[in-house]
Structure 1
Amino acid sequence: MDHIDRLIDLHVPGMGLDRAFYTDASIFERDMECIFRRHWHCAGHASMIDAPGDFFTFNYAQETVVVARDKDGSIHAFLNVCRHRGAEVCTDTSGNTEFFVCPYHAWTYGLDGSLKAARHMPRDFDTRSHGLKTLHVRVVEGLIFISFAPVPLDFAVVEESLRTTIGRYGWGSAKIAHRETYPVHANWKLAVENYVECYHCGPAHPEYSKTHALEQPQHRIEKLNAKMEQRTRNLGIEIHTGDNWQNSLQGQEAIHSFRYALYDGVASGSEDGSAVAPTMGDFTDYDGGVTSIHLGGSTFLVCYPDHGMIYRFVPRTHLTSEMELIWLVRKDAQEGKDYDLHKLTWLWKVTTEEDKKIIEHTSRGVCSHYFQPGPIAPMEYNELRYINWYLDEIRARSSMAA
């Protein structure tokens, strides 16, 4: 048993995590192995690579991934590491190309990562065994998911859940209206823990709390939730949420989808609660509700009838991370005509800037040698579940490795 396993065993149920889980570089590496190299992650939306030859890159810690659309329309993902000397093959963050040429020695790769040419290599050199390291890809309702694992976790439950949630909101025929990245001087888990609980919403997010009933204890919003569900049914829409948030010991990915109400008279997530874009998917009117999805440890989704949000948490180092927000609207919606970008993005920009500050305040406090974890409050039930899931994941993988 190493020091990480001892810390897991010393964890007191119902309490927050020990300081070392946010500050120890070796625990960060365990996180990379158990969470980020094992689970599925949302890389973006298919509209980012609409045409054959389109590509984009993104990073997780020290890994850079290229996602590209091939000539036949299929989507591939591969590590941006040349199989010759390890140089980055793609040096642009996005674009369109017929192939990727390593800037070091000009090894040339196709849109599927296969090696097409290796200049001045022997005639018997096997190009087929020197393609870029490919990753597993799934595309569901427009979302692109990748897995670094040699054998990925079963994605079937996730696919079904996404089809009966974001599928109703028309995400498969959406487009990206805006992207924003927030660097955070904090361990990635502090950012995720902050996101999954709304105990802090009242004091930290007055703008959000004016329109979203999630800032109330669950028993206080039951009537609002019932009215929301009735409005949804009146629109002829069924959204099948469900709790499949389990550890990966049985080889399945974790997903939890749930719904909550906006306050009466509020249509969408905006500064004044008014609609900000044309309705999407099956929605022809506003049901006064939000669908929220937690998926695989680093991906979180928010669905309004007129726009969607992809929330990605990206680890950088044991003390730094990023939060990326992606706003989705209907594919035929035109900026300046059908939606105002400032109004569309206002609420979640303000909320995320507030989150960034509070997370960094927390990180500085947690880094204190005198920090002791406190009790998880009843309104932090999703944080408690996340902490328990996280400890199961890093404990389970350690046991499997042993």
Structure 2
Amino acid sequence: MIVSDLKDVNAPSGDRIDRLVAEHRPGHGLARAFYHDQDIYARDLERVFRRHWHCIAHESVIPNANDFELFRIADEQVILTRHADGSIHALLNVCRHRGAEVCTKDKGNARVFVCPYHAWTYSNDGALRAARLMPKEFRREDHGLKKLHVRVVEGLVFISFAPVPLDFTEVEHLLHATCGQYGWANARVAHRESYAINANWKLAVENYVECYHCGPAHPEYSQTHALEQPLHMIEAMNQAMEQRTCALGIEVGSGNHWQTSENGKEAIHAFRYALYEGVKSGSEDGAAVAPLMGRFADFDGGVTSIHLGGTTFLVCYPDHGMIYRFIPKTAETCEMELIWLVDGKAEAGRDYDLDRLTWLWRVTTDEDKAIIEHTARGVRSHYFEPGPIAPMEQNELRYIDWYLDEISRA
């Protein structure tokens, strides 16, 4: 057996990574090094996380003027703020003087951020308002906090670290056609939960994008969601679902714009699939868990799933929504954040029970965390050799090919 990631360990990191990409066997999983190598992780941050758009939150987490929340992605800290005029900004938490963190709380309400080191003071739109004892010729307008690109679509807040961000047009159109029909612009966050995962971020994403494991690993999910079967076996169910959706006067969009960044555009793929007969929503018993959202006057027995930009995944039910965020921490650790959305007027205890609302995806994610960490321990073995991708893992195969293309492109 040849363990390819152990060869030429003294070669320059770029040459070694490019060689590993070239050695990838089509139709198979990634080699061991992609899940633990520090140089590959650094390239992941450079060419995936700093190039693509990421959903960071639903705007309802900062509902009021001057609200803010601090988000951490790898070694970066991003302050998400709502200015007094209602505009949303994403600011890097790095003082323009000596680099200290200017925001020292995880969330709150503040018109300004004062650096604890030398008291440089910034407005919550990033502008530098005061820099004590600086010379007369100092220009405050040249030293505001660095800002990230921001897009807000159907209530979802997206950020990009790229100097020139990827074109977001196709993403925006498809989000209007999908999340827009479910009323996400008028939704609010009902619950958020983060899961620390002792595994490389790609193992977590690869697990999410395929349902080959759903039958053996997620019995609760598989009782209600037909995606646990191959797509050709549920074609009739999917057609019946679409007929019910159309009968409600709704046309939920789907579309495949999954593409590399070669042409300067962001990747997005939206698809729909059926729930089993009589199932209304993603819950323990298949019953509704919250008031209907958006344009839905009844349940259509379906789900809309959206994969976006490599780290953001969305799930739309008629009565609630899910945001999945995948966040790198180190080469061998990551975090998954789950965000539950409900109609903006719904109140916990009156319109929904929080435990019932969150039950299915909490159970499923607990199971996923265990599976991913089992896999992470296995692929650390020097004797690990990736096997062939199964037909039901077609989205994982697509994701792997996309990922390899992205880290190959400077």
TM-score of Structure 1 vs Structure 2, range by shorter chain: over 0.9
Q: Paired residue for 1:181? A: 194
SS at match of 1:52: coil
Task: Note if 1:37 corresponds to 2:64.
Answer: no
Shift of 1:102: 0.8
Q: For 1:301, which of 296, 305, 314 is the aligned residue?
A: 314
Q: How far off its partner does 1:105 sit?
A: 1.1
2:277 paired with 1:272: no
In the alignment, structure 2 segments of 5+ residues that lack a partner are 1-13
Q: What are the within-5 Å matches in structure 2 for residues 50-69 of structure 1?
A: 50-69=63-82
- Residue 120 of structure 1 deviates from its aligned partner by 1.2
Q: By how many angstroms is 1:24 displaced?
A: 0.2
TM alignment of 1:361-372, pairs within 5 A: 361-372=374-385
Q: Which residue does 1:90 correspond to in 2?
A: 103
- DSSP-derived class of the 2:191 partner: strand
Give the aligned partner of residue 3 of structure 2: none
State yes or no: 1:379 paired with 2:395.
no
1:381 CA displacement: 0.2
Query: How far 1:49 moved relative to its partner?
Result: 1.0
Distance in 2 separating the partners of 1:291 and 1:390: 24
TM-score, with structure 1 as normaliser: 0.98
**CA–CA distance in 2 between the matches of 1:312 and 1:374?**
27
Alignment of 1:2-401 (within 5 A): 2-397=15-410
Deviations 1:90-129 (CA, angstroms, capped at 9, x unpaired) = 0111110111111111110011111110111112211111
Which segments of structure 1 move beyond 6 Å, counting only runs of 4 or more? none
Secondary structure, counterpart of 1:82 in structure 2? coil
Residue ranges of structure 1 left out of the alignment (5+ in a row): 398-402
Q: Distance in 2 between matches of 1:78 and 1:359?
A: 32
The one-letter code matched in structure 1 to 2:187 is A
Cα separation, 1, equivalents of 2:276 and 2:221 = 11
Q: What amino acid maps onto 1:118 in structure 2?
A: A
* Counterpart Cα distance in 1 of 2:96 and 2:344: 38
Report the 3-state secondary structure (helix = DSSP H, G, I; strand = E; otherwise coil) of the residue aligned with 1:160.
helix
Q: Deviations over 1:277-307 (max 9, x none)?
A: 0000000110000000000000000000000
State the Cα distance separating 1:240 from its structure 2 match.
Answer: 1.3
% of aligned pairs identical?
A: 69
Q: Summarize deviations over 1:327-347 as a string: whole Å, max 9, x none.
A: 000000010010000000000
Question: CA separation in 2, counterparts of 1:388 and 1:185?
Answer: 24
Q: Letter of the aligned partner of 2:115 in structure 1?
A: C
Deviations 1:341-400 (A, max 9, x none): 000000000000000000000000000010000000000000000000000101122xxx
The 2-side partners of 1:130 and 1:254 are apart by 34
Q: TM-score, normalised by structure 2?
A: 0.96
Q: Name the aligned partner's letter for residue 204 of structure 2.
A: A
Q: Distance in 1 between matches of 2:251 and 2:69?
A: 34
CA RMSD, Structure 1 to Structure 2 (Å): 0.6
Mapped to 2, the partners of 1:299 and 1:59 lie a distance apart of: 15
Report how many residues are paired. Answer: 397
Query: Take 2:314 and 2:104, find their aligned partners in 1: how far apart are those partners?
Result: 29
